[in-house]
Structure 1
Amino acid sequence: MAQRLKGLSVAILATDNFEQAELTSPKEALEQAGATVRILSARPGQIRGMKHDEKADSFPVDQSWNDAEPGDYAGVVIPGGVFNSDVIRMEEGARRFVQAIHDQGKPVAVICHGAWLLVSAGLVDGKQLTSWPSLQDDIRNAGGNWVDEEVVLDGNLITSRKPDDLPAFNEKLIAALATVEKSDTPSAAQAT
């Protein structure tokens, strides 16, 4: 898998109180595959992760999603965490960023409660996806077909339920990103 994604940049969108494993595991897998990974949030500084219901580590934000250019990225990852997901879904800049990546046909990978952002961005109608089980009514009410599976790929949407699904989620994400043409995105050195 080494260097399979060399030359690609991937965004991770998060706010404070994201589920830490759902950011760190994909980030590590993507970097091991050669991708450049950048954490985007509402504003520069630091964001804090959670390990379930306990505060965890802080991570530097590389750029605001309001200043980032979606075309510079080969795909986007959205970790869960109840508090993170409830806040990020209300952020217009996050919704716009995810919609743009989706409209470009690039992978949009979401785990756990992160699917709330897909609902608020209007991206689940007619799609099959999974999430933390408590979101199934939200997804169905938004026109999606919720299923209880480890990882689901529908078009360019990749969804998983929980941290236990991360190995399958990461594998599916890397496989999807490997199909993105390197010429579709600027090199990591050009990404701002």
Structure 2
Amino acid sequence: MAKVAFLLASNFEDSEMKNPYEAIKEAGHQAVIIGLEKGAECKGKKGTVSYTAEIGAKDAKADEFDAVVIPGGSSPEALRVNDDIVRFVKEANEQGKLIAGICHGPQVMISADILKGKAATCYIGIRDDVKLAGADYRDEEVVVSENIITSRTPKDEPAFIREILAKLN
């Protein structure tokens, strides 16, 4: 069983959190929500789901997790400016852990400077940022590049979830 960190702040894209989170739990893995502060309520931008952060960013330790998932929406913008979130993602990458981001999720990867030399995709609005971070941008539903998995939008969730589960099993 893998222990998977979900990095979350409010205004995430509802389905990009809910669907991978539920699929990972259904597959028998442990899913833990890491937020900016422990106990913080994180609400989806569409208002269909909300979650409570189980661990605050300052207490998150990459060596306690097997994988990291970063849902999209506006949540990554709030996460990427938090030094503890960025440290966590950098450490997870240094340890070779799986790091998956969908839509705007790669913004956190950009801030952690882990995309250089990797292939990646994302929401088209941050395509140039992904390229400038040194990634080989690809307009595909899911891109797997070593330990990094990226997807573009909610319609890509089935492929995103499939690739995460394939790496976890």
TM range (shorter): over 0.9
Correspondence for 2:42 among 32, 41, 47: 47
1:50 is paired with a residue whose SS is coil
Q: State which of 10, 21, 24 in structure 2 corresponds to 1:27.
A: 21
Bigger Rg over Cα: 1
Look up the match of 2:53: 61
Task: Summarize the alignment of residues 83-98 of structure 1 with structure 2, pairs less than 5 Å apart.
Answer: 83-98=74-89
For normalisation by structure 2, the TM-score amounts to 0.96
Shift of 1:95: 0.7
Q: Which residue of 1 aligns with 2:68?
A: 76
Q: Which amino acid aligns with 1:115?
A: P
Say what the alpha-carbon RMSD is for the aligned residues: 1.0
SS state of the match for residue 85, structure 1?
helix
Q: Which runs of at least 4 in structure 1 moved beyond 4 Å after TM superposition?
A: none
TM-score (norm: length of structure 1): 0.84
Structure 1 residues not aligned, in runs of 5+: 1-5, 179-192
Report if aligned partners of 2:8, 2:53 keep a CA contact under 8 Å in 1. no
Aligned length: 168
How much identity, in percent, do the aligned residues show?
38
Distance 2:49 2:65 in 1: 25
Could you tell me how far apart the structure 1 residues matched to 2:101 and 2:144 are?
11
Indicate the SS of the match to 1:143.
coil
